[in-house]
Amino acid sequence: MKSVTIQKNDAEQRLDKFLTKTYPNLPQSMLYKSIRKKDIKLNRKRCEISTRLKEGDVLEMYLKDEFFQQSEQPFDFLKAPDKLKILYEDQNLMLLDKKPGLIVHPDEHYHFDSLIARVQHHLYATGEYDPRGENSFAPALINRIDRNTGGIVMAAKNSESLRIMNQKVKDRELTKLYLCLVYGHMKKKEDTLEGYLQKNESQNRVYISNKPLPEGKMIRTRYRVLDEAPDVSLLEVELLTGRTHQIRAHLASIGHPLIGDGKYGTNTINKRFGLPYQALYSYKLRFDFSTDASILNSLNGQEFTASEIWFLQDFEHWKKGKKL
Print the SS3 string covering 103-121.
Answer: CCCCCCCCCCCCHHHHHHH
Three-class SS state of 86: strand
Three-class SS state of 218: strand
pLDDT tens by residue, 274-289 = 999 999 999 999 999 9
Q: Can you list the alpha helix ranges (DSSP code H) found in 126-172?
A: 159-170
By the 10 Å C-beta count (0-12 exposed, 13-18 middle, 19+ buried), 292 is classed as: exposed
CATH class of 2-68: alpha beta
Position 324 pLDDT exceeds 60:
no
CB 255 within 8 A of CB 151: no
Position 108 pLDDT exceeds 80:
no
Q: What angle do CA 77, 79, 85 make, to 5 degrees?
A: 70
CB 90 within 8 A of CB 52: no
Question: Distances from the Cα of 107 to the Cαs of 110, 115, 244, 302, in angstroms?
Answer: 5, 12, 16, 33
> What amino acid occupies position 288?
D
pLDDT confidence bin for 254, thresholds 50/70/90:
very high
**Fold match, 76-170 / 174-319:** yes
CATH among 3.30.2350.10, 3.40.190.10, 3.30.530.20, 3.40.50.920 for 76-170: 3.30.2350.10
Per-residue pLDDT, 215: 86
DSSP state of 53: P
Helix or strand run (H / E) with residue 209 = strand 205-209
**Would you kindly state where each structural domain of the chain is located, as residue ranges?**
2-68, 76-170, 174-319
Position 109 pLDDT exceeds 80:
no
Q: What is the pTM of this model?
A: 0.83
Position 184 pLDDT exceeds 90:
yes
pLDDT tens by residue, 290-301 = 999 999 999 999
pLDDT tens by residue, 62-79 = 988 877 776 556 788 999
CA–CA separation, 2 and 9 (whole Å): 20
The length of the chain, given as a count of residues: 324
By the 10 Å C-beta count (0-12 exposed, 13-18 middle, 19+ buried), 197 is classed as: buried
By the 10 Å C-beta count (0-12 exposed, 13-18 middle, 19+ buried), 125 is classed as: exposed
Domain 174-319, what fold? Pseudouridine synthase (3.30.2350)
Position 157 pLDDT exceeds 60:
yes
Per-residue pLDDT, 141: 98
Position 321 pLDDT exceeds 90:
no
